Chains A and B, each alone.
Chain A
Amino acid sequence: DAGVTQTPRHEVAEKGQTIILKCEPVSGHNDLFWYRQTKIQGLELLSYFRSKSLMEDGGAFKDRFKAEMLNSSFSTLKIQPTEPKDSAVYLCASSQTGDERLFFGHGTKLSVL
Chain B
Amino acid sequence: GDQVEQSPSALSLHEGTGSALRCNFTTTMRAVQWFRKNSRGSLINLFYLASGTKENGRLKSAFDSKERYSTLHIRDAQLEDSGTYFCAAEASGSWQLIFGSGTQLTVMP
**Chain A residues at the B interface, C-beta cutoff of 8 Å:** 33, 35, 37, 41-45, 48, 56, 89, 91, 93, 99-104, 106-107, 109
Contacts and interface: CB of A to CB of B under 8 A. Distances in A.
Interface residues of B, number: 23
Nearest to B1: A1
Given A43-B35, A89-B95, A109-B95, A103 B101 contact: yes
Interface of B: 9, 33, 35, 37, 40-45, 83-84, 86, 88, 95-99, 101-104
B83 to A, nearest CB: 8
Q: Is the interface of A mostly helix, strand, loop or mixed?
A: strand
A40 to B, nearest CB: 8
Contacts, number: 58
Contacts of B97: 37, 89, 91, 104, 107
A42 B102 contact: no
Q: Is the interface of B mostly helix, strand, loop or mixed?
A: strand
Given A42-B45, A43-B35, A102 B99 contact: yes
A1 to B, nearest CB: 8
User: Which 3 pairs, one residue from A and one from B, show the smallest C-beta to C-beta distance?
Assistant: A101-B102, A42-B45, A43-B43
